[in-house]
């Protein structure tokens, strides 16, 4: 058996499950999936693919009306994630080092706890709107958090660094002016690395 055949024989996709989507929620969690190939392109409810062996979201639906759950996988990137999630987006417990590829609009909270994020550089270029909290605890974030203040709708920011968290939450919802005030406070507190976009 060739190495390629051995690899292909161990891949398990949504298509292999033979689930017929009839509307509402789509669940494919705890199935040892390595691929979302064969998933529906639009889901009228929630999409749950948590606790699999996914390293990529390629093949995921492009639009989800409800929540999107992809936590507890082996994701190293959010490339392939839906562009719009009507509910909340949960990508906790993966191996993410960037939020590039994240949904641009999230109708609920955005949780990326317990990943490998060291920076949130350009987060506002990947995500334009979150209508809830942004949870990013259990990540070794050391810099570039100001972009969070340019994302519309965030109601609360949760970070491990309490001083940074407090400063950002004080200036939520004030747009660019709030971002500049937060930047000034962070610099005054000796937290220059965090005071970047």
Decide: 21 and 48 in contact? Cβ < 8 Å.
no
Count of Cβ atoms closer than 10 Å to residue 83 Cβ: 13
| Distance in angstroms (rounded) separating the CA atoms of residues 126 and 21 | 29
Q: What is the predicted pLDDT for the residue at 2?
A: 52
Q: What is the predicted pLDDT for the residue at 10?
A: 76
* Owner of token pair 């709107």: 129
Q: What is the predicted pLDDT for the residue at 6?
A: 47
| Distance in angstroms (rounded) separating the CA atoms of residues 66 and 53 | 23
Among 117, 109, 167, 163, which Cα is nearest to 137's? 117
Angle in degrees, CA 172, 178, 181, rounded to 5: 125
Global pTM reads 0.94
| Distance in angstroms (rounded) separating the CA atoms of residues 100 and 123 | 8
* pLDDT reading at 4 higher than 60: no
Please give the torsion angle defined by the CA atoms of residues 132, 137, 141 and 147, in that order, rounded to the nearest 10 degrees.
Answer: 10
Q: What is the predicted pLDDT for the residue at 9?
A: 53
* pLDDT reading at 1 higher than 50: no
How is domain 28-188 classified at the CATH fold level? 3.80.10
Query: What residue spans define the domains of the chain?
Result: 28-188
Rg value, the chain, Cα:
18
């Amino acid at each position: 058996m060739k190495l390629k055949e051995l690899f292909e024989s161990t891949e398990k996709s949504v298509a292999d499950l033979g689930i017929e989507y009839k509307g509402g929620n789509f669940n494919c969690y705890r199935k040892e999936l390595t691929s979302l190939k064969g998933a529906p392109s639009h889901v009228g409810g929630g999409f749950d693919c948590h606790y699999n062996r996914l390293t990529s979201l390629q093949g995921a639906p492009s639009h989800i009306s409800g929540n999107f759950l992809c936590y507890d996988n082996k994701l190293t990137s959010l490339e392939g994630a839906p562009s719009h999630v009507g509910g909340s987006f949960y990508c906790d417990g993966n191996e993410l080092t960037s939020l590039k590829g994240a949904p641009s609009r999230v109708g609920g909270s955005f949780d990326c706890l317990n990943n490998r994020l060291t920076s949130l550089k350009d987060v506002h270029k990947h995500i334009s709107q979150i209508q809830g909290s942004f949870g990013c605890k259990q990540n070794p974030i050391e810099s570039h958090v100001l972009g969070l203040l340019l994302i519309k709708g965030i109601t609360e920011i949760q970070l491990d660094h309490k001083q940074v968290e407090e400063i950002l939450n004080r200036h939520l919802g004030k747009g660019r002016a709030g971002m500049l005030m937060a930047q000034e406070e962070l610099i005054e507190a000796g937290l220059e690395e965090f005071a970047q976009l």
